[in-house]
Amino acid sequence: MKAKVIVMPKRSVLDPQGVAVRDAIHHHGVSAVKAARVGKFIELELDGTQTEAQLHEICRDLLSNPVMEDYEVLLEK
């Protein structure tokens, strides 16, 4: 069983990495890309004994920082 955690900078927070990536894409000649945001993708292997509350706890307290980031967790059987 796996959990896939996506951590993204909050919309309200300037993401300088995303701006640099977008600019690099433009230099590459693809002007269709209007914006890019850079986050993290974390894959957790689970033995199935975890609770949903525990998963959210580690996402909130460790894997992301709610001051600057939002997270999403997807469970895969």
Which residues of the chain form contacts with another protein (CB under 8 A)?
13-14, 16-17, 20, 40, 62-63, 65, 67-68
Q: Contact, 44 vs 56, CB < 8 A?
A: no
Given the complex with another protein, which of 42 and 50 has the nearer CB atom?
Answer: 42
Sign of CA dihedral 52, 54, 55, 60: positive
Instruction: Name the 3-class secondary structure at 9.
Output: strand
Q: How far is the CB of 20 from another protein (least distance, A)?
A: 6
Q: How far is the CB of 77 from another protein (least distance, A)?
A: 26
Given the complex with another protein, which of 24 and 48 has the nearer CB atom?
Answer: 24
Q: How far apart are CA 47 and CA 63, in angstroms?
A: 19
